[in-house]
Amino acid sequence: MNAGMFPSTGSAPCDSNMSRLKFCANISWLYTELPDLTQRICAAASDGFKAVEAAWPYDTKIEHIQRARNDNGVKVVLINTPPGDMKAGDLGLAAVPGREAEFRQGLQLALKYANALDCKRIHLMAGRVPVGSDRAEVASEMESTFVQNLQYAADVLMKEGVTGLIEPINTRITDPRYFLDSPHHAAAVIEKVGKPNIKLQMDVFHWQIMDGNLTQNLKKYFPLIGHIQIAQVPGRNEPDSAGELKYQYLFSLLESMGYTEYIGCEYKPLGSTSESLGWFRDYMTASK
């Protein structure tokens, strides 16, 4: 781990007109040395996080998460819709033709958790190209299904004051069959949906692998972005581990652009989670 990612003098890494970034711990990726979400919430709070996000909290009772959230004074800022039948190869249902009823059921479950936890962001997972199907041949039908499901979800979520997010996942390394795989495709879908509470979830790891050009893509799609997640490339480890990305630059860029939403720490720590947070402690110290 590289020490001193940010100045250790106590001076801010940006001028007073720039926004101080807010980070949340993704407790589906961090603190996995602990067996359940409630323990991970406690650990995240102990390490200085004021907020957490989780992919699928549905195996944990709502009241247990509420208690852990309240006891530790942290917010829950993002959850995903249920993935479907993962054993059968599902990873989201929003773009999968013929699964509309299941998508709506999953949306209701996600909204139940979100409302109980005062969580204002739900990632509406697109899903995978069906096994045995050619991506090009099914793309039009899947996109039509995706747009219709997102329009439905937007109306449901709007009544609850919740924002729906769609996230491109890279098909080069992580998931070759995932339907939504680039920021350009996601932006086109959002335009077709035409709902103000459907936003873009920018996972820097996926964007770098699929397209690179992070600075220009960030500037181009900034008005659509409702959430950001980070990890180093290519290992998907902590931001200050060895890799392609210089997060000090990216953080300064986001500050200068006035980004005020949360940045989710969705990475695989090389050691323990707490040991991987040197970059976070540096940033919080330098930003005081």
- Catalytic residue, chosen from 238, 255, 261, 266, is 266
Q: Is 167 designated active site?
A: yes
Q: Is 266 designated active site?
A: yes
Spatial contact of 45 and 25, defined as CB atoms under 8 Å apart: no
- Catalytic residue, chosen from 143, 167, 238, 255, is 167
Among all residues, which ones are annotated catalytic? 167, 266
